[in-house]
């Protein structure tokens, strides 16, 4: 993200609450890593992007995933 002048160094994963899901205007699932515990399985009107998790991937793959999100 630094290549796009976006500083995410202080960002941390956040737990998605039921209230956050209910109050959202748009719900986009970028891909669940664990289908057994995926909170989006029970959400209606969900947009599914199915994006690969960049964790542990080489920088070239991370850039590809980032560009897909963009």
Residue 28 has phi, psi (to 5 degrees) of -120, 125
32-51 confidence digits (pLDDT tens): 656 566 666 667 777 888 88
* pTM listed for this prediction: 0.60
Check: CB of residue 22 under 8 Å from CB of residue 29.
no
Structure tokens at 63: 């850039």
Higher-scoring residue by pLDDT: 29, 42: 29
Mean pLDDT of 10-23: 86
């Amino acid at each position: 993200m630094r290549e796009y002048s976006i500083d995410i160094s202080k960002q941390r994963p956040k737990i998605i609450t039921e209230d956050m899901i209910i109050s959202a205007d748009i719900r986009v699932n970028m891909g669940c890593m664990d289908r057994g515990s995926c909170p989006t399985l029970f959400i209606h009107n969900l947009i599914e992007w199915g994006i690969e998790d960049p964790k542990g991937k080489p920088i070239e793959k991370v850039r590809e995933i980032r560009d897909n999100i963009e």
